[in-house]
Each structure stands twice: as C-alpha cells, then as structure tokens.
Chain A
C-alpha cells in the first residue's frame, strides 16, 4: 500500500522567511501529486498539483513544488511567507493504479509570526 510522509509536523517561521515543507511517498509507479492547505476553520483547498510534464509546478499564492522522481519527493516551497500563510498543509498522492483514491500525509502545521 502506498504511504505519504511529511516529516515536519510543526514549523514556525517569521514573516518573509523562506519555506520548504517535505513530502515523500512510497509508491514506485506513476503518481499524481498534490498539496492542499487548510486555513483555520476553513475547508481543504488545492494549492497545486502535478500530473506530468515540468517537475516544477507553480500554484496559487506564490507556492511552488518540485517533483523529484528519484527521491520520491514532492516538496512545497515559498520564497517569502506571510502571516496569512498560517495553516495546515497536507501532501496527497494518487497512485496510478488506485483509481481516484487519495492518500494524505500526516500534515504540517505552519505558524508564521508577524
């Protein structure tokens, strides 16, 4: 069975700091990769997604992620965070043979200090 690991459970940054959140998955075949964000009291929103093509994908709100197949990783980055980025971030993977099923990582809680 596929699994998704997010090694940073809690991250605290000051505004304008750079952000990188790690995501690793275990499936060796074709994958579709996602980052979701959940702001306090709000629903899951898609930040960005990778299906194929350029491994560097850009999403909303200045976020980007890089798919490195050899490392089974899909790390999320943002060059300069804002207080409004305080939220929970989930990496999710759909394995090519899993239909529409998503497997979520454990989440990373980001707190940005003003």
Chain B
C-alpha cells in the first residue's frame, strides 16, 4: 500500500459545527503533515507530527486541533470555523530517516466548505 488516503472527500459544515478530517497511511512513515491549500495557491504547512508527537505548529488558530492517535492515523478536528477556512486540506506522510530529506507523499485532500 503506497498511498495516503483521506476522508471525507468533501465536507460542508456550519460555523458552529464540530467535525473531523481523517488521514491514513500504511507505508510505515513516521512523519505526517497537514497542509491547507486555497484555490489557485500553493499548499501551506499547518502541522507536522514526528513519531506521533507534534513537532511543528505553524501558528495555526486553535479552532484547528490535530491528533495523531497512532503511527498510521492523523486527524484534524475542526470547531467554530470561519468561512475563510474553506479550502482543500491535504495530508502527507514521509519516512523519518535521520540525516537526510525524506520525500513527502500527498493524499487527495478533503475539500472543506464552511457556511
């Protein structure tokens, strides 16, 4: 299995809703990432998990809450979002070999619309 899967593919939510995005990989990768991509813009890094621990938080608002329950799963919990949070949310994973760059593999994304 050499892919990153994300569910759901599409999500529409109101500003008072609580929802979660899910990402899964079975490549044995120990680093996982969340990116946000607005239309016609490049992906922007949100969070990095390394060995199930949060290692990077790129000043993301607290209405986004990541969780890494195990080495294969990465969740992004959403609460009290704003319409400007509507975007494509991408998950990626990479091996974690010290001393070298490790290529990231991207999932198809969840297209989120906040009403």
Selected from B31, B48, B107, the residue in CB contact (under 8 A) with A43 is B107
- Residue in chain A with minimal CB distance to B95: A100
State the Cβ distance, B33 to closest chain A Cβ, in Å. Answer: 8
Selected from A45, A51, A94, A104, the residue in CB contact (under 8 A) with B43 is A104
CA distance A107 to B43 in the complex (A): 10
Count A-B pairs with CB separation below 8 Å.
41
CA distance A107 to B102 in the complex (A): 22
- Residue in chain A with minimal CB distance to B106: A44
The verdict on A44 contacting B45 (CB below 8 Å), with A32-B101, A100-B101, A100-B102 known, is no
* B101 x A42 contact (CB < 8 A): no
List A62-88 residues whose CB lies under 8 Å from chain B: 88
Tell yes or no: B84 within 8 A of A by CB: no
CA distance A57 to B48 in the complex (A): 29
Tell yes or no: B81 within 8 A of A by CB: no
What band does the interface of chain B fall in when counting residues whose beta carbon is under 8 Å from A? 10 to 19
Tell yes or no: B109 within 8 A of A by CB: yes
What band does the interface of chain A fall in when counting residues whose beta carbon is under 8 Å from B? 20 to 34
State the Cβ distance, A35 to closest chain B Cβ, in Å. Answer: 12
Which one of A32, A46, A101 has the highest number of Cβ atoms from chain B below 10 Å of its Cβ? A101
Residue ranges of A at the interface with B (Cβ–Cβ < 8 Å): 32, 36, 42-46, 49, 51, 88, 90, 94, 96, 100-102, 104-107, 109
